[in-house]
Amino acid sequence: METKKVSKKALRILLKDSLQETLGHLELPKPNKKVKKIISRTTRKMAAEFAHLLKKDYKRSKPKKAKVESAPIAAQVA
């Protein structure tokens, strides 16, 4: 992943649109207010979880810095 940060709002909108589009292709009645509220709530939770996973994946992909051992250097100086 090239981008460092992905906003939860952008993920939520993307998930909500794709979920509504997927449900639209099924032969179901039109969603009412309660169904839309449930979709909104679940997409908010999914977006938070995806943001957490993306953040964790980004941290893993970053190269690790070598730790500098300062204790032996201090012993040599003294």
Give pLDDT < 50 ranges for the chain.
1
Structure tokens at 50: 């995806």
Look at residue 66 in the predicted model and tell me its pLDDT: 65
Alpha carbon separation from 6 to 1, 2, 36, 41 (Å, rounded): 10, 11, 24, 19
Look at residue 1 in the predicted model and tell me its pLDDT: 45
